[in-house]
Structure 1
Amino acid sequence: MMNYFVWDIDPILLALGPLKIRWYGLMFASAFMTSYGFMYWIYKREQKNVEDLDRMLWYLAIGTVVGARLGHCLFYDPAYYFSHPLKILAIWEGGLASHGAFIGILISLYLYKLKTDDSYIWLMDRVAVSCILGASLIRIGNFFNSEILGIPTDVPWAVIFSRIDYLPRHPVQLYESAGYALVFLVLIFAYKKTAYLPIKGLLTGLFTTLVFLLRFLLEFVKTEQAAYANELSLTTGQFLSIPFFLIGVAFIIWSLRNYRTNNLSSG
């Protein structure tokens, strides 16, 4: 019998009386700080006012958490939360959805844009570059929590999450974390190549296309997260990822066509 890696880490990093600090919370906070750091670098690089970043961080933090929570409640277990609406507020019990977080970021960024002179698409492009590494850290937090599990497998690198069961599973949280890190490298490369060119929306399109293509593919080795079942072979996460992927492709096409049109008209 193969000796699989057994994951039995306590999700609580530190307990001080009633106060408990979780690994997931540490990763979540690190994600925001990492995103802030890259946005600071971008603002300094493009000679923007870095004093605006503190306010933006608050908008994005609230939008991310509220969007992720509502997304989980509406997308993955609506019947339960419609019957127990106060449970929507019980965020400490777990349940955050990345699709909802994405929508929350878009809405909060638009509200922030109303108070600045920056282009909404310019902001989306820069936030896309800065936040993806944070998403990678959050998936590591999911790994510490032994949640968002992969399906059982016999691959040599399978992990047994002993706090859940004793089945060897795909460490899909680590797959996703590594995938987001690769997307980050692609976006950083694209940003450096296009930062001073009039190509609006390309980074947003790349982010949306690559992230939700990755989500769609990894759902094949991930356990279903929704509390309800569908009769099709696709998971809820895959159904949610398809429209985002198509929007991302449309953004890339629009961005490149718009850039070519502007070049032809200026030439």
Structure 2
Amino acid sequence: MISSILSAIHWNIKPEIFSIGSFELRYYTLCFLLAFITSYVLMLRIFKRENKPQELLDQLSIYIFVGTLLGARLGHCLFYEFDYYKDHPLEMILPYTYVNGKFTLTGFHGLASHGGALGILVGIFLFCRKTKTDFLWITDRLVIVIPLAGAFVRLGNFFNSEIIGLPSGLPWAVVFERVDAIPRHPAQLYEAIAYVLIFIVLWNIYRRKPLLKPGFIFGLFLILLFGARFGLEFFKENQEAFEDSMKFNMGQLLSLPFIAVGIFLLARPYKTAGRQK
């Protein structure tokens, strides 16, 4: 045990890049912003390739940004800490706590990727209804860049020393010193690498096979990303205590409906491939 601790990678980076008074800039925040900036740049390339106006992408970006934040936040509060937030509903959407007659700025500590995915889908639906854009046309292109954005977010989790892995004796095990002294799987990095690989697969499929049936890339994305999420959960510590008594944790259970929708989209018959609007 001692030799494995000595050979492990020790990680003790502070999550804050700097702080001024109650304001602080975290690596996680920076990674989150990089996720949106990178996604926007890549989506702009896609829109230009298909002769779509940048103004349309700008509108879409607003819906996605708001949908991601609200969905991820509400997803965490409802799926993982409902017992607390049912009695503190304002703290779901406002970045403060109210204790002993004082408001304290805390930021949003707790975002759930499955909630973010649902928020994105709701945002796309509202965007498509307003702009009369085809839902599957948007999703088939947006999901190409989402895995890369997800990789940035998981890198932010790594800087935060959160969503840690189970104990491990592997040479690349990491001791998250801000948590404990146990060498663990760097589960955040496993997930980030998986997401980058999924991005590469989807990007190449899009570039080489432009006439796939609507929903194909979207369906493949759901299977690959949430399938990876389901498998990689076996390397992670449970996020909440109530999951310890479950055969499959909350992240795995929430992944199953997405995988099922992906299988449906790939299997459904479609006579006229390549339709756009």
* Structure 2 residues without counterparts, runs of 5 or longer: 96-106
- In the alignment, is the contact (CA less than 8 A) between 1:77 and 1:228 conserved in 2? no
Q: What is the letter of the counterpart of residue 144 of structure 1? A: F
Q: What is the letter of the counterpart of residue 251 of structure 1? A: L
- In the alignment, is the contact (CA less than 8 A) between 2:220 and 2:266 conserved in 1? yes
Q: Which residue of 1 aligns with 2:49?
A: 45
Q: Which residue of 2 aligns with 1:119?
A: 134
What is the CA-CA distance between 1:18 and the residue it aligns to? 3.3
- The aligned runs of 1:117-196 (5 Å cut-off) are 117-195=132-210
Q: Which residue of 1 aligns with 2:119?
A: 104
Sequence identity (%): 43
- In the alignment, is the contact (CA less than 8 A) between 1:226 and 1:236 conserved in 2? no
The question of 1:212 aligning with 2:226 is answered yes
Question: Which of 245, 250, 257 is the equivalent residue of 2:264?
Answer: 250
- In the alignment, is the contact (CA less than 8 A) between 2:73 and 2:108 conserved in 1? no
CA distance in 2, matches of 1:198, 1:38: 20
- In the alignment, is the contact (CA less than 8 A) between 2:198 and 2:225 conserved in 1? yes
Q: TM-score, normalised by structure 2?
A: 0.89
SS in 1 for 2:239: coil
The question of 1:202 aligning with 2:216 is answered yes
Q: 1:132 to 1:68 in 2, by over 3 A?
A: same
Q: Once superposed, what is the RMSD of the aligned Cα atoms?
A: 1.4
The question of 1:58 aligning with 2:62 is answered yes
What is the CA-CA distance between 1:106 and the residue it aligns to? 0.3
- In the alignment, is the contact (CA less than 8 A) between 2:11 and 2:176 conserved in 1? yes
CA distance in 2, matches of 1:88, 1:18: 20
Q: What is the letter of the counterpart of residue 16 of structure 2? A: I
* Structure 1 residues without counterparts, runs of 5 or longer: none
CA distance in 1, matches of 2:88, 2:252: 26
- In the alignment, is the contact (CA less than 8 A) between 2:144 and 2:202 conserved in 1? yes
What is the CA-CA distance between 1:61 and the residue it aligns to? 0.3
Q: TM-score, normalised by structure 1?
A: 0.93
Which 4+ residue blocks in structure 1 deviate beyond 4 angstroms?
A: none
SS in 2 for 1:83: coil
- In the alignment, is the contact (CA less than 8 A) between 2:13 and 2:159 conserved in 1? yes
What is the CA-CA distance between 1:138 and the residue it aligns to? 0.6
What is the CA-CA distance between 1:121 and the residue it aligns to? 0.5
The structure in which a higher percent of residues are helix is 1
What is the CA-CA distance between 1:164 and the residue it aligns to? 0.9
- In the alignment, is the contact (CA less than 8 A) between 2:125 and 2:135 conserved in 1? yes
The question of 1:67 aligning with 2:77 is answered no
